[in-house]
Amino acid sequence: MIVLYGRTAEVNALDEVIARARDGSGGAVVLRGEAGAGKTALLDAAAARGGAMRVLRTTGVEAESDLAFAALHQVLWPVTGSLDALPAPQRDAVRAALGLAAGSAGDRYLLGAGALSLLAEAAEPDGLICVVDDFQWVDRASADALLFAARRVGTEKIAMLFAVRGDVAVKGVSRTVQVPGLPAAAAAELLESRGGVRPGVARELVALTGANPLALGEIAARLTPAQLAGREPLPDPLPGGARLFGDQVRALPAPARLLALVAAVEAGLDVVLRAADRLAAERSGDGPGAAWTGRAALAELEASGLAEVSGTRVRFRHPLVRSAVHEAAAPAEIRHVHAVLAQLTEGDRRAWHLAAAAVGRDERAAAELVAAARQARDRGGYGTAATALARAAELTPEAATRAARLKDAAVAAWLGGRPGQAESLLAEARDQAGADAGLATGIAQLRGRFELNCGNAAEAVRILTAGDSLEMLADAAEAASYVGDTAAVVALGRRAAAHPEGFLRDTVAGIGLTLDGDAAGPGLLRRALGRVGELGEAAEYLWAAAAASHLGESDLATEMVDRAGRVARVSGMTGQLPVVLEFVATAERLAGHLADSQAVSEEGLEMAREAGYENTVAAHLANLAVLAALRGEEETCERRAHEALAIAVPHRVGLRAGVAAYALALLDLCLGRHAAAHDRFTALAAAGPGAGHPTVVWRTAPDRVEAAVGAGDDAGARAALAAYARWSAHAATPESRALLARCRGLVESSEEAFGEALRLHTNPFEAARTALLLGERLRRAQRPGEARAHLRTAWETFERAGARPWARRAQGELRAAGESGQAPPSAVLDALTPQELRIAGLVADGLSSRQIAAQLFLSPRTVEYHLYKIYPKLGIGSRTELARLVVLRKAPGAGRDML
């Protein structure tokens, strides 16, 4: 039985998390405290109190902190029999990470989702407690996967308990329980349990140790009965000092102390014993009594109580014992032990031992670390690969090779979601590159990409513009487009035109020439779009979307973005997904699928924050601000918009700053504040690069026209219409022509133009806005009978979309037109959350729960959980019925779904 003193509050906090997990509302909590505070005892008590709940456990080991997936292997190995229940991409990722199959684990999101799904399977039927002790030493690859799961266990029967020392971040787990020194009464009770400790002595020990439970117990055990009874003074300093175990380690016989050192750097029992025997053989000529064996030394170490054999590993009584062993050894002795272990191990273990044994530069050790990094990267351990490559670079004698390895380390750190580390490594690589022009160019391109995602987009343009390759020119054009620097995009397009014909060349050159008014530009864009059937990568589809957008065809651009999103989700390299989801969320919003846009941006925002992609964070915040404006949520809109602007403006990301500014203008327009909206739209149109963006101005021109008309600025409305007509001159899709017709109807008060727009619209939300504007004019022209049908259609569509300000406006107009009927019945799918709507849509597409889980990075059980919530909400009982409801809502004339 585990006896805890003075830890009622901490135990209650853990019990709460476990109880909620048992009921299907999983969660995670971090125990944080200094060494010896009792974190492990609390974890043991929590696991013991879980009843029938399954317990999976891992402990970070400093000697294994550089071995990719060492901790994850320990957690998941007992439940690998459930792997076949996972979606195929997740199953393959987990198998590769655990070394059960050849191949790559792919992206960290995919592996994290696989870990979550496997834990969810293990949690049935009674729940699961996943215990992660000494998290500060868990290898990075395992930490990424475990934390991904911890952030997503809300609908699972999983409690994840982390214990960590110091200020090491446990990213994304917000609930923390501090584990301080014991309360005075509990500390006295602990000492009393040792027997014979006088109250005065107990108070002095508590004061001197900060009531650290480990320190109290260890020090009390080393005092004499007379000292405990207060008959003799306490020693000064107290035995053990800050490290507690140093004197015990130093008191070990030399063979046991040496074996302890071997165990401190390599925990596997078999390797420890073989290394100890080899070291004993080396010392056999040191004189009488020098001969010894590893097993004899192990027996002495166990007899000391400092370590024990647990299965196939040597485990120290406490991590501080390991620290004391290291401190008691000379640096040369530690290096020699690593050198011996390098002879007895293979793969990444051998590589790290060679590195630790090296003195100065050592290409052999560096090359083996590079191989270990490659293996870690192939299994999805990008953080571990970055660490290995950085260390390999330190050991590399030749400067150019050293720079190349630093560059590779930076890429791995970037893919591992550590942009700060990536930028530091890349800066070091640039300093080492010397006169190698090719390497310098590659480093510059990476610097530009890093700046574009996390830093100053204008600086990214400056860096990337220096390159001459088509790929670097394309990256520069992309960066300039984010800034909103049209002149730079034009110049880069003309430079790209000098390259051989192809999809990317035609797109980059076509965009530049089109923006410059060159008649050849649209033709190049059309030719590029003619190659869409040859495309296969998400980035290529985003370029296709850009081509369509610059032709004024936002609906075709939306289709291309949708393809990019689908490819990114199944490519196995979903590290680009947060960025791709910027465009997917925007496309869904522009298509009138407001709930789906909300769900995509919430997903993208979470991923971008996890990855450290600040500019992508701004993108999703800006889109969420626009959605809040459409719903009339003033406080949310303003908060999200200002959060986005706080990132986008100093980072010179004009595209995202423009969208955030648009959200505030749209909010005014939605709430009928036409003059304020007109002022904001006018300022947005005049904003320069870094603060505004031409694409935002073009796409929002119909709103600007409406605001100008509402504010009574006829000249401003005509100017905005003329500009929009120029931007749309090459557009050929129905929706682009419909929006232009609506703008003409507003400026010219033309019913014919409104009617043309309604005939052309393919976007239901925009069609409803046109119907509202036409209905308002018909009612004010004393033609209420004609107005009511348009107003009713608009009202019903806005209600379904959750666009409350416009719904209220349409309802008021409808009543003024003489219809006082009841509110339109809510569409049955309106009861669903954005996440549930997405799942419903994928069910309608015929996907299984496993396939949906693979796309949304959920566990199949989470998908089923949502389905079981969806069915009673809709009064149905099967996937077939759900699919029918979704299809009906998508049908033409049924108020196209707002998913």
As a three-state string, the secondary structure of 146-192 is HHHHHCCCCCCCEEEEEEECCCCCCCCCCCEEECCCCCHHHHHHHHH
Of residues 576, 671, 656, the one with CA closest to residue 623: 656
Peptide bond into 419 cis (omega under 30): no
**Dist. CA 412–CA 428, nearest whole Å:** 15
Lowest mean pLDDT among 325-339, 544-558, 659-673: 544-558
Q: Would the pLDDT of 888 be above 50? A: yes
Q: Would the pLDDT of 542 be above 60? A: yes
Please give the pLDDT value at position 288.
45
Q: Would the pLDDT of 892 be above 70? A: no
Of residues 565, 545, 542, the one with CA closest to residue 556: 545
Q: Would the pLDDT of 343 be above 50? A: yes
Of residues 685, 693, 689, 694, the one with CA closest to residue 665: 685
Please give the pLDDT value at position 2.
66
| Average pLDDT score over residue span 211-231 | 87
Asked whether the beta carbons of 29 and 161 are under 8 A apart, the reply is: yes
pTM given for the model: 0.84
pLDDT-derived band at 477, boundaries 50, 70, 90: very high
pLDDT-derived band at 105, boundaries 50, 70, 90: low
Domain 8-178: state its class: alpha beta
Return the bridge partners of 176, or none: 30
Please give the pLDDT value at position 899.
22
What does the radius of gyration of the chain's CA atoms come to, in whole angstroms? 33
User: How would you classify residue 825: left for phi > 0, otherwise alpha for psi between -120 and 50, otherwise beta?
Assistant: beta
Asked whether the beta carbons of 473 and 496 are under 8 A apart, the reply is: yes
Who contacts 203 (Cβ-Cβ below 8 Å, separation ≥6)? 184, 188
CB atoms under 10 Å from CB of 374, counted, come to: 16
pLDDT-derived band at 891, boundaries 50, 70, 90: very low
Q: Within 13 A of 107's CA, how many CA atoms are on the CB side?
A: 22
Please give the pLDDT value at position 825.
56
* pLDDT single digits (tens) 745-768: 999 999 999 999 999 998 889 999
Q: Would the pLDDT of 848 be above 60? A: yes
Asked whether the beta carbons of 791 and 817 are under 8 A apart, the reply is: yes
Return the bridge partners of 542, or none: none
Distances (CA, A) of 140 to 9, 323, 511, 899: 31, 21, 42, 37
Mean pLDDT of the chain: 90
Phi first, then psi: give them for residue 835, nearest 5 degrees: -65, -45
Please give the pLDDT value at position 525.
96
Asked whether the beta carbons of 272 and 295 are under 8 A apart, the reply is: no
Measured distance between the N- and C-terminal CA atoms of the chain, rounded to whole angstroms: 54
**Dist. CA 746–CA 699, nearest whole Å:** 17
Which structure tokens are listed for 530?
A: 């003619």
Angle between helices 8-22 and 39-48 (to 10 degrees): 40
* pLDDT single digits (tens) 401-426: 999 999 999 999 988 888 888 989 99
Please give the pLDDT value at position 371.
96
Please give the pLDDT value at position 495.
97
**Dist. CA 314–CA 530, nearest whole Å:** 64
pLDDT-derived band at 241, boundaries 50, 70, 90: low
Q: Would the pLDDT of 308 be above 70? A: yes
**Dist. CA 656–CA 642, nearest whole Å:** 11
DSSP characters for 374-400? HHHHHTT-HHHHHHHHHHHHHH-SSHH
* pLDDT single digits (tens) 723-736: 999 888 887 788 88
Distances (CA, A) of 503 to 46, 158, 508: 59, 48, 9
Helix and strand numbers, DSSP H then E, in the chain: 47, 7
Of residues 575, 564, 188, the one with CA closest to residue 419: 575
**Dist. CA 704–CA 698, nearest whole Å:** 10
pLDDT-derived band at 822, boundaries 50, 70, 90: low
Check residue 51 and report its DSSP letter: T
Which structure tokens are listed for 407?
A: 């560059």
Check residue 846 and report its DSSP letter: T
Who contacts 26 (Cβ-Cβ below 8 Å, separation ≥6)? 20, 123, 153, 154, 155, 156, 157, 158, 159, 160
Q: Would the pLDDT of 898 be above 50? A: no
Please give the pLDDT value at position 663.
98
Asked whether the beta carbons of 56 and 75 are under 8 A apart, the reply is: yes
Task: Identify which has the larger pLDDT, 857 or 511.
Answer: 511
| Average pLDDT score over residue span 891-895 | 38
| Average pLDDT score over residue span 786-810 | 90
Give the rounded percent of residues in the chain with a pLDDT score beyond 70: 95
| Average pLDDT score over residue span 457-464 | 96
| Average pLDDT score over residue span 538-560 | 90
- Please give the CATH topology (third level) of the domain spanning 829-890: Arc Repressor Mutant, subunit A (1.10.10)
| Average pLDDT score over residue span 804-824 | 83
Label residue 820 exposed, middle or buried (CB < 10 Å: 0-12, 13-18, 19+). Answer: exposed
**Dist. CA 585–CA 605, nearest whole Å:** 11
| Average pLDDT score over residue span 321-349 | 92
Helix/strand/coil for 587: helix
pLDDT-derived band at 826, boundaries 50, 70, 90: low
Asked whether the beta carbons of 221 and 305 are under 8 A apart, the reply is: no
Helix/strand/coil for 784: helix
**Dist. CA 431–CA 603, nearest whole Å:** 38
**Dist. CA 659–CA 679, nearest whole Å:** 16
Sheet containing 27-32, strands listed edge to edge, beginning at the edge strand earlier in sequence:
54-59, 128-133, 158-164, 27-32, 176-178
| Average pLDDT score over residue span 648-667 | 97
Q: Would the pLDDT of 602 be above 90? A: yes
* pLDDT single digits (tens) 142-191: 999 999 999 999 999 999 999 999 888 898 898 999 999 999 889 888 88
| Residue position matching structure tokens 């997990």 | 21
CB atoms under 10 Å from CB of 848, counted, come to: 14
Give the rounded percent of residues in the chain with a pLDDT score beyond 90: 65
**Dist. CA 444–CA 772, nearest whole Å:** 52
Please give the pLDDT value at position 699.
87
Cα angle 762-766-772, degrees, rounded to a multiple of 5:
125
pLDDT-derived band at 106, boundaries 50, 70, 90: low
Q: What is the 3-state secondary structure of 708-759?
A: HHHCCCHHHHHHHHHHHHHHCCCCCCHHHHHHHHHHHHHHHCCHHHHHHHHH
Pairing of strands 307-310, 313-316: antiparallel
Q: Which helix (H) or strand (E) holds 67?
A: none
